[in-house]
């Protein structure tokens, strides 16, 4: 697999081939493996290894990028020439900055995210874990489906002004769905360290949800107190974080326009972007090689900060918004240039409650409500009020007088994130959570009052 020394050699060749004023190379490499199962049997096992270099060249105010996954001399020359040819015909961008000579502020050491056990896992080991999942399904007379994947990945950046940085990590995912005749259950977990994943525990929880939600009762739509498990919280709140980038404010496409510095959520809502958090993962530098900073986005329900790429910060300082958006400085959250999105926080961590509750405690304190395992098919209805629609799935239960009573038919919801995060009555301890609609975050379970369900679905 590509390493830092080999990448440095490739970049030296790229520089020799280039006639541009400045040149940058982003490296992505790794190997990944996936075991997929359905109908209680493994039906797919695949593995992939790839190395990619993305070359950006700049001539004054013009820049462009070309990418290849072939690192031989002719392929690299072709990528450099393509990047230069495209750059030369671009319209000048007076806001284009020179490439950075360093990554700026150093966050400090982050926990190791590379684990030999994860990198070395074999198809046989994944198959053994799947066998245990299937055993749980058969014991409960259920049908199971899902995945078990692992990967070892590297990402690096080099530029002609001397900046270079490199990151290596592993990842592992297990997703389990249990199917009965008229019900289902689901669980998923992700970690850089495969030792932190327990396939049997995930399978047992998913199976219990499928069994206990069998013969679901139909109850009317309406506003309910809802207990959202961490995966459900992650998938719905993930729709707001691209609005925390400075360019989204400048483009007038953020729900935070005219709201930075104001209290729009409940006092118990605190959110940071923190790449160094022990439960987080990912690369500690952004698409230009700037080191990611810890940024406190929301404090006590008040939106305090945005995140910025270098060019966005310069643009914001010259704009009419500069005195309304808090501190304006590069934070190391930019995407590779060129791009239309600017930046976004990608290492979200919700702050802990002063009085955290377990899901069981939330159920015990609920007179009438619903427990939701996860949400899916989420779409945005109103971008400024952040109203989303979607459906519950794979374990929706009726709660009455502090007890989990029975499974119910799934619902469609129409809910504003502003309203939802203003009505959080209780929260659990934040955990690393995985879903299907958003990126992994560190989030708690939440008990929310007056969550708006608009109709009952047909399954």
CA distance 86 to 80: 10
The whole-number pLDDT of residue 432 equals: 97
The whole-number pLDDT of residue 130 equals: 98
Query: How far apart, in Å, are the Cα atoms of 224 and each of 24, 219, 221, 398, 407?
Result: 53, 11, 9, 10, 15
The whole-number pLDDT of residue 164 equals: 96
Domain final residue, candidates 148, 173, 202: 202
The whole-number pLDDT of residue 196 equals: 96
CA distance 257 to 93: 25
The whole-number pLDDT of residue 200 equals: 98
Residue 208: inside a domain, yes or no? no
CA distance 169 to 282: 8
Domain final residue, candidates 155, 178, 202: 202
Residue 207: inside a domain, yes or no? no
Are 198 and 225 within one domain?
no
The SS3 of residue 65 is strand
Encoded tokens for 290: 């700037």
User: Could you check whether the bond before residue 337 is cis, i.e. omega within 30 degrees of 0?
Assistant: no
Are 227 and 197 within one domain?
no
Residue 114: inside a domain, yes or no? yes
The whole-number pLDDT of residue 105 equals: 84
Are 410 and 272 within one domain?
yes
Q: Which residues contact 405 (CB under 8 A, 6 or more apart)?
A: 397, 398, 399
The whole-number pLDDT of residue 437 equals: 92
- In terms of DSSP H, where are the helices of 282-416? 310-317, 359-364
Q: What is the pTM of this model?
A: 0.96
Backbone angles phi, psi at 313, to 5 degrees: -60, -45
Are 359 and 395 within one domain?
yes
Closest CA to 6 of 71, 98, 83: 71
Are 251 and 297 within one domain?
yes
The percent helix, strand, coil of the chain (3-state, each to 5) is 25, 40, 40
The whole-number pLDDT of residue 299 equals: 98
Are 256 and 389 within one domain?
yes
Query: How far apart, in Å, are the Cα atoms of 12 and each of 71, 106, 229, 302, 314?
Result: 12, 25, 49, 47, 31
Task: State the DSSP H helix or E strand holding residue 201, giving kind and residue range, or none if neither.
Answer: helix 199-212
Residue 450: inside a domain, yes or no? yes
- Give the position of tokens 């990028």: 65
The whole-number pLDDT of residue 109 equals: 80
* CB contact burial 415-428 (16+ within 10 A = b; e otherwise): bbbbbbbbbbbbbb
The whole-number pLDDT of residue 459 equals: 75
Are 33 and 143 within one domain?
yes
The whole-number pLDDT of residue 141 equals: 98
Domain span at 436: 216-459
Beta-bridge partners for 42? 37
Residue 85: inside a domain, yes or no? yes
Are 260 and 298 within one domain?
yes
Are 121 and 245 within one domain?
no
Phi-psi region of 436 (alpha: psi -120 to 50; beta: other; left: phi over 0): alpha
Question: Looking at residue 123, which CATH number applies to its domain?
Answer: 3.30.2290.10
Domain final residue, candidates 170, 202, 234: 202
Per-residue pLDDT of the chain (459 residues; tens, 9 = 90+): 899 999 999 999 999 999 999 999 999 999 999 999 999 999 999 999 999 999 999 999 999 999 999 999 999 999 999 999 999 999 999 999 999 999 988 777 888 999 999 999 999 999 999 999 999 999 999 999 999 999 999 999 999 999 999 999 999 999 999 999 999 999 999 999 999 999 999 999 999 999 999 999 999 999 999 999 999 999 999 999 999 999 999 999 999 999 999 999 999 999 999 999 999 999 999 999 999 999 999 999 999 999 999 999 999 999 999 999 999 999 999 999 999 999 999 999 999 999 999 999 999 999 999 999 999 999 999 999 999 999 999 999 999 999 999 999 999 999 999 999 999 999 999 999 999 999 999 999 999 999 999 999 987
Are 119 and 263 within one domain?
no
Say how many domains are in the chain. Answer: 2
Q: Are 308 and 287 in contact (CB under 8 A)?
A: no
Q: Which residues contact 136 (CB under 8 A, 6 or more apart)?
A: 144, 178, 200, 203, 204, 207
């Amino acid at each position: 697999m590509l390493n830092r020394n080999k990448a440095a050699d490739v970049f030296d060749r790229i520089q020799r081939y280039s006639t541009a004023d400045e040149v940058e190379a982003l490296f992505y490499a790794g190997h990944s493996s996936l075991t997929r199962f359905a109908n209680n049997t493994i039906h797919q096992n695949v593995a992939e290894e790839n190395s990619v270099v993305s070359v950006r060249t700049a001539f004054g105010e013009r820049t462009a990028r070309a990418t290849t996954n072939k690192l031989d001399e002719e392929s690299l020359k072709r990528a450099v020439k393509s990047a230069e040819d495209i750059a030369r015909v671009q319209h000048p961008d007076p806001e284009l900055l020179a490439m950075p000579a360093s990554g700026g502020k150093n966050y400090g050491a982050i926990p190791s995210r590379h684990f030999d056990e994860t990198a070395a896992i074999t198809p046989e080991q994944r198959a053994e874990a799947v066998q245990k999942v299937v055993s749980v399904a058969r014991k409960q007379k259920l049908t199971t489906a899902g995945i078990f994947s692992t990967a070892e990945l590297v990402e690096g950046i080099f530029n002609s002004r001397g900046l270079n940085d490199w990151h290596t990590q592993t990842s592992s995912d297990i997703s389990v769905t249990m199917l009965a005749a008229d019900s289902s259950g689901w669980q998923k977990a992700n970690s850089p360290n495969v030792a932190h994943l327990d396939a049997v525990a995930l399978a047992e929880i998913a199976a219990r949800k499928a069994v206990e939600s069998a013969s679901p009762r139909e109850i009317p739509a309406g506003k309910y107190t809802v207990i959202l498990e961490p995966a459900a919280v992650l998938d719905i709140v993930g729709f707001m974080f691209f609005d925390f980038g400075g360019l989204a404010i400048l483009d007038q496409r953020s729900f935070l326009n005219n709201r930075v510095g104001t209290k729009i959520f409940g006092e118990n809502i605190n959110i940071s972007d923190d790449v160094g958090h022990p439960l987080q993962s990912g690369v500690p530098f952004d698409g230009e090689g700037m080191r990611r900073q810890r940024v406190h986005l929301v404090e006590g329900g008040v939106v305090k900060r945005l995140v910025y790429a270098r060019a966005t910060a310069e643009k914001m300082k010259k704009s009419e918004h500069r005195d309304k958006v808090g501190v304006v400085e590069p934070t190391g959250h930019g995407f590779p240039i060129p791009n239309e999105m600017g930046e976004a926080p990608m290492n979200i961590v919700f702050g802990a409650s002063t009085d955290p509750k377990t899901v069981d405690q939330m159920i015990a304190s609920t007179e009438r409500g619903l427990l939701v395992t996860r949400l899916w098919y989420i779409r945005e209805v109103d971008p400024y009020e952040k109203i989303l629609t979607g459906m519950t799935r794979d374990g929706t239960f009726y709660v009455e007088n502090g007890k989990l009573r029975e499974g119910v038919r799934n619902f469609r919801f129409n809910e504003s994130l502003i309203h939802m995060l203003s009505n959080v009555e209780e929260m659990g301890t934040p955990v690393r959570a995985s879903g299907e609609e958003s990126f992994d975050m560190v989030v708690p379970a939440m008990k929310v009052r007056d969550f708006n369900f608009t109709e009952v679905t047909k399954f």
